Chains A and B, each alone.
Chain A
């Protein structure tokens, strides 16, 4: 998926129709921009005419008569162009930024509605780039690429018109060069696109190397591989150097060629135009206008071609952006549900029923969207409210599946999950999520203060409540030890705290939201035994009256659960209470006794 950066995409009409809706609100300002752009180019193309007039009228005529109106006209034209350029550049920027903003909002908001399977299949860096960088490139396309076309295109047309009017023959001589220039420029552009892409790739590889060397500093040191890593690094920088120098050969040749083309144009004007001047067919002023055009024409041609290759390159961004926008969540509320309960951004809380916490799996079969095997088949389980369900099994055995279904992060492929006796699909996701507390295996905190993080599940929680929740999970000590207490910053992703501390805080965060259903996903793995014990105690308090699902490593912690589900290879192979499962002498028995036996039979007890 990540090689996509290099894929050549071709969309109908370069993908522009896909983004037109985002340009629509700015239609008026865009039209004004185009008109102003044309005016500005028209002025640019007639400037040399002032020169011509000066040469033919004043210089050749040896008179200063009429210089005042000449100066006045010149000043008016100049003033108009300055004002014109100011406005159109400002408009361009405004349109670009506004479209950027709208695209970013659209992408971000759409992401908020997508289900977990999307995030499981696309890594964060990839999705982040869709929101932050594709959008910027598309905005640039609409604002500047288009303006470039308008500017350069109308300049060339203007020049053409003036040349033809002044002297058709000479104009044709100059124009004969244009196709040659176009072909050469296209050739170089193509080459350079490929080379520049390679440079960008190597460059991002080098950035990645820096990142790795710095974040992995501890590993590099403990493994004593500094020299090895350095060697690899230098190979990449050398690669970059060579590619860049290679690319510069082309780009330098490119600019040399363009100047040569101008020189050829100038030479033709001197030769043919000089002759015409000597024969008095044209005046010196006209000759000088032609010379100015000969020198100034190559740049706009280069611009137009550059714009086209830019548009071709941007298709990739448009394609990725529109694919994101077209991705539909595979967990979506039906229109009826949205009608009654509201959607993610417009909840109708007044219609929300209270959630009791009865959960029932009814003939549920489930296959992950990116999988090809059922991990649950015709699974039935009734979890009356207040029940404590424990899920155990080996790492990677698929313990999170059930929890994902309860939380409706995924929907059953067949069958139904009932919440309080009604299919989960009959009520909105937000309604369900507002009633669930979830502590993840890898705790995630947001940058900000401890308070802001704890209030995440309950924005209006007061300090007293917060401290209570902290005390419940024995995290009050941690926060008290921090310099600013609840106002202490936790750092990006909570990286100023240890894993254990993060876990305790995310636990407190879940408790504070006072959920009806509580999910603890291996939340106790990195906490020392004493703290863990304290949490265990807290858990037994908070799960009272709540439906809870606990995924745990240590079997000793879930002995008291109402139901234990034993998962192996993604499937639930045993279920029951601790004693029942032990009696059954099955896989659970094996798991449990292995932990216990080791102590007993090693003769150390």
Chain B
């Protein structure tokens, strides 16, 4: 745990290789061991046919032995051909011993390969997750969740598979090929040429098919995604479907897409069966030719029966791995794409503090004053200004209300304050206790500016863990205290598992209001000096809203409170109320002042009180 290599998070990976090597840290030794054992597997696999050939020729038959030195030494040590003739079990024992060595090497190969692969997988995931956690919020807003998750899951798997399965098998096949051909050459060069002539053909056609199959798979995936989305939408929108009586339409939509998807797969199956049949044909032809020519050479006397049997075994070892070769080559391009997709994330710039960022103390008088100084902001792709020359001051310890219509820029103000959005150079300044927030450490800033969002996010943990997530050490008493202020304690007590109730997919689903209240408790337990409630009571009813606000007075004591709301009742007790209209401040003051003003605030007030 915690083995993530701490390094410059904004390291740029210029090439695919750079990044792969980065992820391979700590795995390389395992892969090296795996490759060494892979060589041994091939070597041991190749010994037995030799022994069989020898057995047939020199033990069962009477041919002279022509084994290479090492093996001859083994045979001699076992007593020589003559001795073995009457002691066949010894030959069997040798076969088993060789197989045992082969099996042990195979075991070690797989084991070390898996060690490396799993370490690699962990490295990739940890690094990606950590990187994503530190990417700026704007990056998250720009990139689709589904897409990022796909990069982190299927692309990561693809790269892992490629490096640990395909690349190692490339090594293995290569070694096997060289050794097998070497042994085969030793038996009969002519026959080896015939057998080897097929190899490039096999590689080429499997490359051809794998490319086609890869494309077809991708198409099928796309169609599956569409089908899955239709089902997903139908299920999440089941109330709408029913309420509009559109079941038939949904059915047609699903069935049509289902048909398309199925057709893609049937086409894929056609390709696959074509591939398999071609494989069968070529390897069948190759084996046939080896059988026939082998027989011919034996008859002509350039081979013995034992040679023939050994040669056929070697040949049988080759066909499958060589087919793999084509696959590996075609996977290479896919893996390349996946690496690029991951590289996109890893090369995105993470949030960074200025080199000499500070942590200004908040305690002293005036230390926590927030000043918005001619702030303007435009979204990355937007043309219209979301905020246009907004200036105001929030005194430390005061309560400020912000009222504004949809899209008036209320939330943007708060996102800027928390540096979720970065204020551009020419967009004015926001200062906290006189220090430009751009010069403050982001983590320090966010620890001091607590925020309850309109659509709060709960983690899939228990309620208690959710509440104390930002304050590790909090005990049950503190958790309950915070929940009580947020008017949540009773609700939680009514759950059968109380505070241990699990939230999210595998647990209860909380209502919007309950989520908001949990988020409020989450903030209260931290007691940050500045608290922002971004429309965070919108989903609770007026009664609970009132209850919470009364209780909040106690919980927010001494803190600066910024309230964003639609309800006048929520805001009217604030020391200062700012009314935002299309990115500009249209009026500000206390409740009474604003009522007297007769502006937007007054209008809204009248609407809400008189209906």
Contacts and interface: CB of A to CB of B under 8 A. Distances in A.
Asked whether A and B interact, the reply is yes
Nearest to B87: A271
Nearest to B449: A222
A602 interface: yes
A385 B178 CA distance: 88
Given A270-B91, A275-B88, A594-B546, A447 B229 contact: yes
Interface string A115-143: 01001000111011001100000000000
A244 interface: yes
A214 B305 contact: no
13 contacts: A54-B292, A55-B305, A89-B269, A112-B251, A124-B232, A209-B129, A223-B446, A244-B118, A259-B103, A393-B541, A430-B245, A526-B535, A599-B572
A573 interface: no
B534 to A, nearest CB: 10
A237 B126 contact: yes
A599 B456 CA distance: 28
A605 B460 CA distance: 45
A230 B133 contact: yes
Given A93-B272, A253-B107, A67 B296 contact: yes
B470 A223 contact: yes
Interface string A216-241: 11111111111011110111011011
Contacts of A85: 273, 276-277, 280
Interface stretch (A284-292, A366-374, A541-549): A284-292
A582 to B, nearest CB: 13
Interface string B483-521: 000000000000000000000011001011110000000
Interface stretch (B48-56, B333-341, B369-377, B393-401): B48-56
Interface in A55-97: 55, 58-60, 62-64, 67, 70-71, 74-75, 78, 81-83, 85-87, 89-90, 92-94, 96-97
B296 A64 contact: yes
B129 A556 contact: no
Given A63-B299, A214-B149, A263-B95, A248 B273 contact: no
Nearest to B443: A224
Given A217-B133, A252-B109, 10 more contacts: A55-B305, A101-B259, A219-B459, A222-B453, A234-B1, A271-B92, A432-B245, A446-B240, A598-B572, A602-B572
Given A67-B292, A407-B243, A267 B92 contact: yes
A249 B119 CA distance: 15
Interface in A239-269: 240-241, 244-245, 248-249, 251-253, 255-257, 259-260, 262-264, 266-268
B99 A270 contact: no
B69 interface: no
A240 B258 CA distance: 35
Nearest to B590: A604
Which are the 5 A-B pairs with shortest beta-carbon distances? Answer: A93-B269, A263-B99, A438-B243, A433-B245, A86-B277
A105 B450 CA distance: 49
A570 interface: no
B575 interface: no
B73 interface: no
A599 B119 CA distance: 63
A60 B512 CA distance: 86
A223 B469 contact: yes
Of the candidates A230, A438, A459, the one having the most CB atoms from chain B within 10 angstroms of its own CB is: A230
A492 interface: yes
Interface in B253-290: 254-255, 258-259, 261-262, 265-266, 268-270, 272-274, 276-277, 280-281, 284-285, 287-288
A532 B567 CA distance: 12
A209 B418 CA distance: 24
Interface stretch (B182-190, B402-410, B473-481): B402-410
A282 to B, nearest CB: 11
Given A124-B235, A244-B114, A447-B233, A274 B106 contact: no
A92 B244 CA distance: 41
B218 interface: no
A253 B227 CA distance: 41
Contacts of B210: none
B103 A267 contact: no
Nearest to B4: A234
Query: Main secondary structure on chain A at its contact with chain B?
Result: helix
Contacts of A345: 247-248, 251
Interface stretch (B198-206, B553-561, B601-609): B601-609
Nearest to A57: B295
Interface size class of B (residues with CB under 8 A): 35 or more
Contacts of B114: 244-245, 248, 252
A405 B152 CA distance: 45
A598 B573 CA distance: 10
A413 B347 CA distance: 60
Interface residues of A, number: 171
B220 to A, nearest CB: 10
B22 interface: no
Contacts of B604: 529-530
A78 B119 contact: no
Contacts of A499: 454-455
B375 to A, nearest CB: 19
A456 B246 contact: yes
B171 to A, nearest CB: 17
B418 to A, nearest CB: 6
A436 to B, nearest CB: 6
Contacts of A533: 607
B124 to A, nearest CB: 9
A309 interface: no
B250 interface: yes
A271 B88 contact: yes
A98 B262 contact: yes
B429 interface: no
Interface in A585-602: 591, 594-596, 598-599, 602
B2 A234 contact: yes
Of the candidates B95, B135, B240, the one having the most CB atoms from chain A within 10 angstroms of its own CB is: B240
B317 to A, nearest CB: 10
A226 B133 contact: yes
B568 A553 contact: no
B71 interface: no
B308 A274 contact: no
Given A108-B254, A222-B420, A94 B269 contact: yes
Given A55-B305, A67-B295, A233-B126, A86 B611 contact: no
A488 interface: no
Nearest to A115: B242
A591 B459 contact: no
B106 A256 contact: yes
Contacts of B48: 263, 266
B292 A2 contact: no
Interface in A512-559: 513, 519, 525-533, 553-559
A332 B142 CA distance: 45
B251 A235 contact: no
A361 B148 CA distance: 51
Contact of A218 (B115, B244, B457, B469): B457
A50 interface: yes
A263 B97 CA distance: 9
B291 A256 contact: no
